[in-house]
Structures are given as structure tokens and as C-alpha cells.
Amino acid sequence: MTTPALAPSPAPANDRSPLAERIVDTLIHRIGKDERAARKHDWLEATILTLRDEIIDKWMASTRAAHAAQAKRVYYLSLEFLIGRLLRDALSNLGRNNEVGRALASLGIDLVEIEEIEPDAALGNGGLGRLAACFMESLATLDLPAYGYGIRYVNGMFRQRLDDGWQVELPENWLSHGNPWEFERRESAYFIGFGGEVTGNDTGIVHWKPAEAIEAIAYDTPVVGWRGKRVNTLRLWSARAFDPIHLDAFNAGDHIGALAGQARAESLVRVLYPNDSNASGQELRLRQEYFFSSASIQDIVRRHVQYFGDVRTLADKAAIQLNDTHPAVSVAELMRLLIDQHDLGFDEAWEVTRKTFGYTNHTLLPEALESWPLPLFERLLPRHMQLVYAINAKVLRQARKAPGVDDAAISAISLIDEGGERRVRMANLAFVGSHSVNGVAALHTDLMKQTVFADLHRLYPDRINNKTNGITPRRWLMECNPRLTALIRDAIGPEFCDNTALIKGLESFADDSSFQERLAEVKRSNKVALAKYIKDSMGLRLDPDALFDVQIKRIHEYKRQLLNIIETVALYDQIRSHPERDWTPRVKLFAGKAASSYHNAKLIIKLANDVARRINGDPLVGGLLKVVFIPNYNVSLAERIIPAADLSEQISTAGMEASGTGNMKFALNGALTIGTLDGANIEIKDRVGDDNIFIFGLDADEVAAKRANGYAPREVIEGSRELSQAVNAIASGVFSPDDPQRYKGLVDGLYGGDWFMVAADFDAYAAAQRRVDARWADQPAWRASAVRNVANVGWFSSDRTISEYARDIWGVM
């Protein structure tokens, strides 16, 4: 006999709502459990399947409507979709939270409890993948027919554990209980070839005979927009061998070899590369990119031809957006299909291709710009290599005719990097193959024009445009912060739920002391809830009245967690020297994952933990300073932490963070930002006003000038007593007595160049933190600033961002 997991005390059957009956019916007939044997996961699955049945009706209605209207469709191609949990999102968008909560309660089940055992769909690294997820939700909300295309990774982002403060990566088996949200579409399967040879030439009939082929199988997940207005499809590809088992090999006794094809196919969709802002550069990654690009483009072309007959009208009925260069090989793939399978001439195919694609650039970091060794590209994709050469010849021919284009410009524009080992430049391919190229914040877009794409921009001056990122206010306000949502509703009415810009109306309450107090109560309740989570999961007790100072994001040197840690050490030093002063009690919260091969990032995690151990164990600073590194940062953890934050750390080296979206989530939840003039911080400052944000440090021009003119970090460090003391303490093993040399490399990096300007910005950062203290001491002033932040960042809704893409790039609004 199985013991019931939750020991439910079910209400008598006749008290149950029809919805409760449906959930029980699902449990019995689709999961095969009776109520008494059901465990939490069974209830979760039964609830999802019951809801999914209702979603399917809307889904089909959406598809039929788009078909009937002959609507243009948007296709968002992304190697990452960091969607997180879906149940709460679907319930909230369908307005069914209370009803489903009551139905489950009548069955003795707590909705929140089962929501929290849903695994995070962590098919992404960080901001880029989360943006794709927010965009999918906004596309459905704005009633735009759209498909997201990506890979159904069996193992998404790794789970992070801390062993003695060191990051350990564990596989995340998010599919281990099955995935009740998805539909396998066996009928939507495509042949994806690799390698082999091409016969014929560019003028005659060309035939590519791949040496290897696998099958791409579609899995569809419904994406529910706000108020269930529309349900779109997220189509993720899995891989299957054509011939899953070689029977002759099997019969001959080679049981492993007989399954090798299937194993090889599965390896393609096994893991998400856990690199953020770094090109992955391995053959398997190029295979993943081509696999999902080819399946998606074939699917798009098939749908277009089926609905509209003529592939020549593709650009009128399909807009394909490339989320970074990961799907850039799609440009060559569409050319291949148009020329080799649909018999278009090269120039005609090129017209259709350029009009169909748009490309979003996400980074200027040279180490993140994808390029592939030419021999690898040619071996894996021989036909695409020919097409890249042909496109390049056409582009360079045109370029040479343009005024002022010299040899240096030609080599910058070329799709082939000829400096050293020859490589295919994916950003250049995406740029020339698209009618629109956008950056993700105003500063980032300006820098794109001045740096990586300067020559391409001169040649195509109308192509680059800006689309400042946004976040969905459903997940990042209404779902994660119901208390604040209720407070806003009480103050300005419910209309802001349908139009985030209306939150502006809150501004008139900024100086209303009773409203301020209610906001402070909301924040405090959220902090108490986070403190309880940390107490339960880590055993650490936090004071909810302390200032919660939060830096959560991928660990990367350019994001400068190190600057924050060094300032924490300096503050610790000062509190110890002057315990009698009126210090602001603070909790420094960190969370984030480091790429597994990123040595310094992993060392920074260890340093945060070493500093935490020392400070948290020091009775002298007692209630004044605590440091916490919360393990396994992901969407669900972000949803817990952000509503509880007082201060949002957005302190990247100016010019290096393309936009950031964490900055927007915090401000919308009433945290004040301490930050540099980088990415979207600048636009946040413009909206909330200089007095309601703590800006410090070098701007992007100053960083560039310092790097160009020779910067001497040693002088800077030695010139700052606070900084040199903190750095020396770290270097001499104060926080790592078990291994005093542990941080020598990190500290040497500061003295020996300090590429990220940690030393250069230190004093300005520390001074900004003391301005934070002063504002915090004046609670009414702090609260007024918090209200002004919430009120003025409605513009950063991804609904606004998507409306701009729809109007300016896709032509669907």
C-alpha cells in the first residue's frame, strides 16, 4: 500500500466543484492513480493536464483565426528559452488562480505547494534566454500570431550546488517526471543532413548528398497570453536517428553499435552549453545551431507554401527574428531551400531572404562574437559554405563600388575573417542577410554603430536600429509580487494590469505618507518571506529590517561582483574599526552561476562565500552586516528574491552590458538601483530621475579613453586607503587562511591591468554606497524614491518592446 504523500482529508464528494471533479477524473483516467495513492507530483500533473485541456481550445481558435485572416506570422528563433515554471503563469494569465486554488483545497491539496514542485524549464543561461521567454508571453498578450523555435534540451542549465563555497555543477533533469505541458508532433519531422558532398556548381543544378542525417521532431508547448487572449506555440526540436536501431548489427551481436546512431542523434539535444557571453566554439554547438535552424526554416517554408502556395511571397507572410547569431546559419539555409528546392535564382532568393530576416545583436564582447573555423564549417555544411562564398562575393562587389570603402573596410565587412586561421563570421552573415539589425538598449545600439559594425553601418546606414529590452509585468510583478500588485490596484485601479504604462499614476502617491507606509509593509512582508526561505534552506538568520542589497545575475568579470565584494570587505573593515558609528544594517545577497570553464568567475563565487563565512561569524559586526550567497540562481529563485530587494546592484563596467533586464525587474518591484551608466540603466535613470537612482563611476567613453591612454591601476589602488586595505586583506589570506594564496591571481589581475576598471570605479562606488546609507536613514525619502521607481518603469514592459519590433521590423502592427 502506498502511503498518501499529503495525507489529504478530502471534502465529501458532493461539495466538490465541477473543476475539482475534472481534476480527479484526470488523475484517475490519465495518470492512473486514485486520490488516496496520489502524490504531490500526480496532483501537479493532473492540475496541469486539466488546465491544458482548456488551453487547447483557445490554442486551436488562435491558429484558426490566424489562418482565416491570412495573417503574417512572427518566428522567433532562439537557442535559449529561459521560461521557468509555467503553472502559475498559465493560471494567472487565465485568471483562474483562485478557482483552481479552491478546487484543490477541496481535495486537500495546497496549490502553492504543488506549484513549487514544478521544475524550472531552464533552457537558457541568463538574460538572452529570459528575454526570449518574456517576448513569447508578450507576443501572445498582444494577440500576434507567433512561434518560438528552439531546442528541447534534455538537460538544461546545470543545477548549482556549493561545496565549501565552491561551485559544483549537477545535471538538471527537468524532464525526469515527464513534461505535461508539451505535445510531441510525430507528423512534424524533418530530415537534417550533415557533411557529405555537393555535386554540380552554382550555375547549374546543385545536389547536396549529406553523409549523415538525423530527424528533427517537434514538441509544442502552448504559450498563454494575458487574459488568455491568445495562445501561441513554442516549438522545440528533439532529435532522432532515422534508423534508430541497426538490426543487422544487433543480430550480429553488436548491441551497442546497433544503437550508436540513436545515441549520436540524442547527443545533439542533450545539453545546453552553459556559457553566457562567451562563444562555445565546439563542433557539437555548430551542429546544434544548424539542426534547429534547418528544422525551423524547413517548417516555416513548408507552412508558407501550404497556406500561400508561392514561396516568393514568404517575406509578406513571415518575419523571422534571429536572437543573436546562434541561428545565423538560417540565412544560408533559407537560401539553400529557395535555390536548391524551390528553383529560385540566386538574386531572387537573396531578396526574399533579406526581407524575411531580422537580427538582434546582444553583445559587443569580442569573446562572444561567434565565428567558425572555415574547414569545420565546410566539412559539416559544404553546401552552405558555397552559399556563404556566393553571398560574400555579392556583398563585397557592391561594397567596392560604394564611396570611401578601402581595403580595411572590405576586410571588416567580409563574411570571412582572413586574419590568421580563416573563419566564418556569423555576425556579418546575420547582418547582411537581414533587413533590420537591432541593439537592445540605446547605448548598446550606438556602440554597435561605432565599433563591431562600423563599416557595415557605413555601407547600410538604415539597417541598425534600437529596441530597448523589456520584461513581462505578468511574471515580474503580478505573479512574483501579489502584495505589491494588490497595493497598486487599490491605489490606481486595476487598469494597469492591461496597460503597464498606467502605473505612472502611482507617482502622485510618492509623497503620501500612508501609501509609503503600506509600500514599506509590502516590502517587509516580502523580506520576511525571503528570510524564511534562507533560514529553511541555508540555516542563516537575517534581519528583515536590514537593507537588503542584492546582486543576482550570471557571474562574470564585466558584471563586477568583485567590486561589490571588495566594497563589502572595506565596509567590514570600517565597522570593525568604528563599531560605535551609526551604521546601516545591511544584508549583502548574491546569487548566480559561473560557466563551468570560467576560472575567475568560479573563484569569485568562492571569495563571496569565504567573505560571508568570516563576516557572518564575527560577533563584532553582529547585526550590522551579513553576506549570503544563495545557491542555484534560476527564474524561480529570482521571483523569490526580487520582490524582497531594497537595493539593486547593476554595476557593470560601462559599455559592456548590452542592456540588462534584471535592472528593470528590480525597479518595477520598488528597489532603488545603484549602478553605472551602462545598458538600460541609462534609460532607467532618464525615467525615474537622477534623484531616485544612485549612479556612479566612469561612463563608456571614459572607460574607452582610459583603456586607450594607458591606465595604471597600481597607482589607483595605492592612492585609496580603503581599497588597498581591502585588496591586501584578500590577497594576504585573511578570508582564506586555509589557502592564503587562493586569491593571488584575482588580485594580480587588478594590479596588472584591471580590464574591468574595478579599481578605477572603487572610490566612486563606495561613495555611492554611503549616499545609499544616507537615503535609507531618511525612510520617508527612501520610500518616496521607491514609489517613483515603480511608477516610472512601466515603459520597460516587454509589451512595449514587442510593439516596437512589430511595427518597425516585422510589419505586423
Binding site residues, ligand PLP, CB under 6 A: 82, 126-127, 130, 553-554, 634-635, 638, 660-662, 665
Which CB atom, from 558 or from 583, has the smaller least distance to ligand PLP?
Answer: 558
Which CB atom, from 161 or from 541, has the smaller least distance to ligand PLP?
Answer: 161
d(CA 311, CA 351): 12
The minimum distance between CB 381 and ligand PLP, in angstroms, equals 32
Which CB atom, from 299 or from 799, has the smaller least distance to ligand PLP?
Answer: 799
Which CB atom, from 62 or from 797, has the smaller least distance to ligand PLP?
Answer: 797
Which CB atom, from 24 or from 565, has the smaller least distance to ligand PLP?
Answer: 565
The minimum distance between CB 153 and ligand PLP, in angstroms, equals 16
Q: Is 532 a catalytic residue?
A: no
Which residue is at the shortest CB distance from ligand PLP?
662
Determine whether 57 is exposed, middle or buried from the number of CB atoms within 10 Å of its CB (0-12, 13-18, 19+).
Answer: exposed
d(CA 595, CA 609): 17
Which CB atom, from 304 or from 467, has the smaller least distance to ligand PLP?
Answer: 467
The minimum distance between CB 638 and ligand PLP, in angstroms, equals 4
Strands 207-209 and 197-199: antiparallel
The catalytic residue among 304, 665, 783, 788 is 665
The catalytic residue among 463, 553, 614, 626 is 553
Q: How many CA atoms lie within 13 Å of 237's alpha carbon, on the beta-carbon side?
A: 34
- Under DSSP, the state recorded for 635 is H
Determine whether 419 is exposed, middle or buried from the number of CB atoms within 10 Å of its CB (0-12, 13-18, 19+).
Answer: exposed
d(CA 41, CA 27): 11
Which CB atom, from 435 or from 665, has the smaller least distance to ligand PLP?
Answer: 665
The minimum distance between CB 666 and ligand PLP, in angstroms, equals 9
The catalytic residue among 58, 230, 362, 444 is 362
Q: From its phi and psi, is residue 652 left (phi > 0), alpha (psi between -120 and 50) or beta? A: beta
d(CA 584, CA 593): 29
The catalytic residue among 423, 554, 588, 788 is 554
Q: Is 58 a catalytic residue?
A: no
Does residue 81 contact residue 148 with C-beta atoms inside 8 Å? yes
Does residue 643 contact residue 761 with C-beta atoms inside 8 Å? no
The minimum distance between CB 654 and ligand PLP, in angstroms, equals 15
Which CB atom, from 232 or from 277, has the smaller least distance to ligand PLP?
Answer: 277
The catalytic residue among 467, 559, 593, 788 is 559
Which CB atom, from 127 or from 470, has the smaller least distance to ligand PLP?
Answer: 127
Strands 416-417 and 423-425: antiparallel
Does residue 100 contact residue 91 with C-beta atoms inside 8 Å? yes
Q: Is 801 a catalytic residue?
A: no
In sequence order, the 6+-apart residues with CB closer than 8 A to the CB of 96 are 51
Q: How far out from the chain centre does Cα 343 lie? A: 39
Determine whether 118 is exposed, middle or buried from the number of CB atoms within 10 Å of its CB (0-12, 13-18, 19+).
Answer: buried
The minimum distance between CB 786 and ligand PLP, in angstroms, equals 19
Which CB atom, from 466 or from 650, has the smaller least distance to ligand PLP?
Answer: 650
Q: How far out from the chain centre does Cα 311 lie? A: 33
d(CA 585, CA 241): 59
The minimum distance between CB 214 and ligand PLP, in angstroms, equals 31
Rounded to 5°, the CA angle 145-149-151 comes to: 155
The catalytic residue among 661, 673, 676, 801 is 661
The minimum distance between CB 802 and ligand PLP, in angstroms, equals 17
- Under DSSP, the state recorded for 672 is E
d(CA 615, CA 568): 9
Q: Is 362 a catalytic residue?
A: yes
The minimum distance between CB 665 and ligand PLP, in angstroms, equals 6
The minimum distance between CB 641 and ligand PLP, in angstroms, equals 10
Rounded to 5°, the CA angle 362-368-374 comes to: 120
Does residue 236 contact residue 76 with C-beta atoms inside 8 Å? no
Which CB atom, from 24 or from 658, has the smaller least distance to ligand PLP?
Answer: 658
Length in residues, the chain: 813
Does residue 38 contact residue 27 with C-beta atoms inside 8 Å? yes
d(CA 653, CA 595): 19
d(CA 172, CA 634): 12
Closest of 223, 262, 256, 221 to residue 239, by C-alpha: 262
Which CB atom, from 675 or from 749, has the smaller least distance to ligand PLP?
Answer: 675
Q: Is 72 a catalytic residue?
A: no
The minimum distance between CB 140 and ligand PLP, in angstroms, equals 19
Q: φ, ψ for residue 793 (rounded to 5)?
A: -110, 15
The minimum distance between CB 533 and ligand PLP, in angstroms, equals 16
d(CA 28, CA 101): 20
| Count of Cβ atoms closer than 10 Å to residue 340 Cβ | 18
Residues in a beta bridge with 320? 75, 357
Q: Is 559 a catalytic residue?
A: yes
Q: Which three cell numbers stand for residue 152?
A: 528541447
Catalytic positions, please? 362, 553-554, 559, 661, 665
